[in-house]
């Protein structure tokens, strides 16, 4: 069923990873704002996260596959978060005025929603298993 709560979580993740990097800057150095779509690898990760969340949303009939896809998406988000932490630690704050943007929080929010979705999928799977035992 597509009207489950994890479907809403996955839809939020796909919208966040697909659309927010266009408007939310990752960091600003001096006068220039750098967005996710200015860097090919970061753009690839955001698009992969959005597509994987949408694919997991559409595979609602197979809960085990959906759970595995969410774990893979969680791994991609952790890699992207590591890239952002590495990049933010290498931004110099003294030579040129630099500040971190709100776009760096997208992987953290995605991780939170993925954990909530996996929790709801696990709850549904346990419910189905308990009903199968009664038959």
Per-residue confidence band for 60, with pLDDT thresholds at 50, 70 and 90: confident
Asked if pLDDT for residue 94 goes beyond 80, the answer is no
pLDDT score recorded for residue 103: 83
Domain count, the chain: 1
Mean pLDDT of the region 75-104: 78
Closest CA to 41 of 8, 1, 9, 87: 87
pTM summary value: 0.86
Which domain, by its residues, includes 91? 5-134
Q: pLDDT per residue over 12-46, tens digit each? A: 999 999 998 888 888 777 777 888 888 889 899 99
DSSP for 98-129, written as a single string: EEE-GGGGHHHHHHHHHHHHHHHHHHHHHHHH
Closest CA to 27 of 90, 78, 111: 90
């Amino acid at each position: 069923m597509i009207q489950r709560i994890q479907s809403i979580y996955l839809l939020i993740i796909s919208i966040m990873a697909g659309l927010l990097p266009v408007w939310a800057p990752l960091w600003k150095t001096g006068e220039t704002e750098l967005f996710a779509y200015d860097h090919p690898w970061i753009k690839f990760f955001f698009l992969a996260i959005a597509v994987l969340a949408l694919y997991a949303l559409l595979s609602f009939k197979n809960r085990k596959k959906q759970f595995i896809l969410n774990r893979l998406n969680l791994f991609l988000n952790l890699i992207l978060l590591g890239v952002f932490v590495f990049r933010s630690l290498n931004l110099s704050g003294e030579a040129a005025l630099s500040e971190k943007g709100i776009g760096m929080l997208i992987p953290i929010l995605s991780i939170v929603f993925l954990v909530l979705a996996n929790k709801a999928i696990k709850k549904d799977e346990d419910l189905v298993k308990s009903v199968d035992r009664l038959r």
